[in-house]
A and B are shown apart, each in its own frame.
Chain A
Amino acid sequence: MSERASVQADEADADEDEEEQAPVTTGAQSVVRALENAGAEYVFGVQGGAIMPVYDALYDSEIDHVTMAHEQGASHAADAFGIVSGEPGVCFATSGPGATNLVTGLADANMDSDPVIALTGQVPTDFVGNDAFQETDTVGITQPVTKHSYFADDADTVGTEVGEAWALANEGRQGPTLVDLPKDITKGETEIEPAPPKKPDTYDVPEEADDEDVQEAADALAAAQRPVVLAGGGVIKADAADALRDFAFEYEIPVITTMPGIGSFPEDHELSLEWAGMHGTGYANMAITNTDCMLAIGTRFDDRLTGGIDSFAPDADIVHVDIDPAEISKNVHADYPLIGDARATLRQLYDAMPSAPDADEWREQCQEWKAEYPMDYETPDDEPLKPQYVVERFSDLTPDDTIVCTGVGQHQMWASQFWEFTEPRTWVSSHGLGTMGYGAPAAIGAKLAAPDQEVVCFDGDGSFLMTVQELSVAVRENLDITYVVLNNEAVGMVRQWQDAFHEGRRMASEYPWIPEFDKLAEAFGARGFRLEEYDDVEETIQAAREYDGPSVVDAIIDPAENVYPMVPSGGDNGLFALNERHLEQL
């Protein structure tokens, strides 16, 4: 229960059966009413002068406010809430520094198409442009990293604008929106109830793809000898994971996911080749390189996925399904562009397929690659703990719907490689922006979105230090989250690249001065564990899981461990390196 809710619990009980909502009297109340109308459950934020009227209106609302330690945390928590729930996550910040602290989270949400709505306080309109105390041009700063940023200039319409921002964040290709709220507007009087959330009339959302185009694409797929499906994050966003499964099972086409697409297809299924890209599986990258027809759905062909464009799926006809027309042929030319919602379009394709492709040999080939390039690591007893082992054991011990959050770095890659994902909306990570510090607050948003599911956050020591203060929030809200710091006393991913590409000159990448995270956890009021031995892995994980509240496992891992396979930046997916020697050959 949030702190406001606990203060008010008694009062709330008293007027529980009071159904009728009081009419709005101020812009701020209209803002909160708009969020209520939209169905917002939580707001993540930090107080401040310019946003105070909105908080005052929130005092009377059923919406729970979660006070975060830092606004960056608020934006990441809202982002994760959006990923897990599918509904926009809401974050609040005051003007100036509050608003600028949100920017990283908005940029992150923008890259990953996560639905987020940010409401920021602003100095009164008379002061705007005067370099007033805590003024920044929030709309100007955030415009490039949101779907749209609104500047509210009328108490009568501010609530409707918030509703529009909500609808815009949610519809079509999801993403972040922002409404900047000058203090005189939120304090201003109005009696006008906000209109229900409605997308702007200039924003078009395609539904179904053109039938003729679908037929052509289906014919091409059915005629392929080496077909693959490449499922991106859009499959999850469109709730199309079930449609993808039906399609792939029926036509027996191997499925590769992108990293944001993890969870869209069960990784334990024979047809799954898991995920492709820089640190994706060898078999997924072999299949990408050798396919002759790729059905790519809801992916923006990020360079971490494609490697060098010249060598990406060089033999393939590409069927590209996306709800955002601007994604079609942005990075990779689409031979069969299908503009539409992933779920609807997959159903159309399912119906249009004249037959299953004749691809027995290809499927066998894919299985051979799985045997040739298994995801593997060495676990000698006398060496420090391998991070992969920790992830793998944890995955074995938990239910399928456990939600995994991460920071950014090697630990993120190990989590994605060695956890076995089978369900959508269980993988919560920062992909496009690659934001260190994402994990700790994201786990909070994820847990609140899915209180009945287990949440584990694999973090790096560097990433965790960037937002560790959010532990105080997990403690206050008593959130049952297990943080596992894969502690290599380094910003390991940087160190790995320095060793590989900068002759081992480890400039600013080793962190021998980091705190003992188990003790830090205790200082915050969480449970702390220290893990060093193979023999203790299972017991420690179980103890952390069983603890009812946030716990932190400081897992002291082999600092020399690196992430493989690896496609060097801009390289050829088929030429992934399995070790240092391979890297030198490339």
Chain B
Amino acid sequence: MPGPAPDERMRPDGRRNTQGIRIDPEAEVTHEPREAVLSALVKHEPGVLSEVSSLFSRRQFNIESLTVGPTHDDGVARMTIVIEEPQPGIEQAKKQLRKLVPTISVTELDQQNTRRELALIKVSGEKPDDVNAVADMYGGQAVDVTAESVTVELTGSKQKIDAAVGAFEQFDVQEVVRTGTAALERGADTLENDD
């Protein structure tokens, strides 16, 4: 085959970044990862959680937390998925999620959403008063007390719960269970009417 060798061929100077976006030589754009809270209404039927979680793992989306539970509508469950991705990855995650057959709607909650996580923290029962005092500081309360242990219930943002778990370390934390993030849009908007 004739024709010029590779290095003698006509070609432009442009480039794309790893997200397939053309690089503007003036201002090279790269998207840094950010946290996004996705809220999805899905059919409340067996297998949906595994379908969603397998989607996120096979597409290599970086999941921070995924929670699911029933809603006021018997046939519908709601998932809250917190991911950390560059903007194009977040868009892609939303679109992939929307494609699943059991998915009814998907939205990304804005930064001002109401976001809560529940934790139960079991610590040694040696200093119940001190445990109560720390629990108070974080708005928590003891829900189970024995001679050997105190279990405290807490709700709040992930950061607040991280901090509380840290504070409880002094009492010899024995077990922690956390639910992951559940979130709703602030104000009157609901998923059905703004998707």
Residue positions of A touching B, CB distance < 8 A:
139-140, 143-144, 147-148, 151, 168, 200, 202-203, 282, 286, 289-290, 301, 309-312, 314-316, 324-326, 328-333, 365, 372-374, 376, 564-565, 574-579, 582, 585-586
Contacts and interface: CB of A to CB of B under 8 A. Distances in A.
B6 A577 contact: yes
A433 B101 CA distance: 23
A143 B16 contact: no
Contacts of B101: 147-148, 168, 200, 202-203
A374 B12 CA distance: 22
A576 B99 contact: no
Nearest 3 Cβ contacts at the A-B interface: A314-B14, A326-B95, A332-B20
B54 interface: yes
B15 A314 contact: yes
Nearest to B102: A202
Given A143-B51, A374-B1, A585-B5, A325 B88 contact: no
B6 A151 contact: no
Contacts of A576: 6
B166 interface: no
A372 B4 contact: yes
Contacts of A332: 16, 20
B1 A578 contact: yes
A316 B58 CA distance: 30
B103 A202 contact: yes
Given A140-B50, A282-B3, A333 B11 contact: no
A325 B21 contact: no
B162 interface: no
Interface residues of B, number: 41
A329 B1 contact: no
Contact of B92 (A309, A330, A365): A330
Nearest to A165: B101
Contact of A202 (B10, B16, B22, B43): B43
Nearest to A586: B6
B19 A333 contact: yes
A290 B3 CA distance: 16
Contacts of B91: 329
A200 to B, nearest CB: 5
Interface hub of B6, B21, B43 (most chain A Cβ within 10 A): B6
A290 B18 CA distance: 19
A505 B46 CA distance: 50
A96 to B, nearest CB: 19
Nearest to B6: A575
Contacts of B50: 140, 143
A286 B6 CA distance: 11
A314 B12 contact: yes
A585 B9 CA distance: 14
B74 to A, nearest CB: 16
A309 B16 contact: yes
B69 interface: no
Interface hub of A326, A329, A564, A574 (most chain B Cβ within 10 A): A326
B10 A290 contact: yes
A565 B58 CA distance: 33
B5 A582 contact: yes
Given A147-B101, A333-B19, A372 B3 contact: yes
Nearest to A571: B6
A138 to B, nearest CB: 12
A329 B88 contact: yes
A579 B3 CA distance: 11
Given A333-B16, A373-B2, A575-B9, 17 more contacts: A202-B43, A289-B12, A290-B11, A309-B20, A310-B15, A314-B14, A314-B16, A316-B22, A332-B20, A333-B88, A373-B1, A564-B1, A574-B6, A574-B10, A574-B11, A577-B6, A582-B6
A324 B6 contact: no
B189 interface: no
A148 B20 CA distance: 29
A286 B9 contact: yes
Contacts of A565: 1
Given A329-B91, A574-B9, A585-B7, A310 B1 contact: no
Interface string B1-44: 11111110111111111111110000000000000000000010
B47 interface: yes
B162 to A, nearest CB: 33
A564 B1 CA distance: 9
23 contacts: A147-B101, A148-B100, A286-B10, A290-B10, A301-B20, A310-B16, A310-B18, A311-B15, A312-B16, A314-B12, A324-B99, A325-B98, A326-B98, A326-B99, A328-B95, A330-B92, A332-B16, A332-B20, A565-B1, A574-B6, A574-B10, A575-B9, A582-B6
A315 B12 contact: yes
Contacts of B21: 333
B69 to A, nearest CB: 19
Contacts of B19: 333
B98 A151 contact: no
B20 A329 contact: yes
Contacts of B190: none
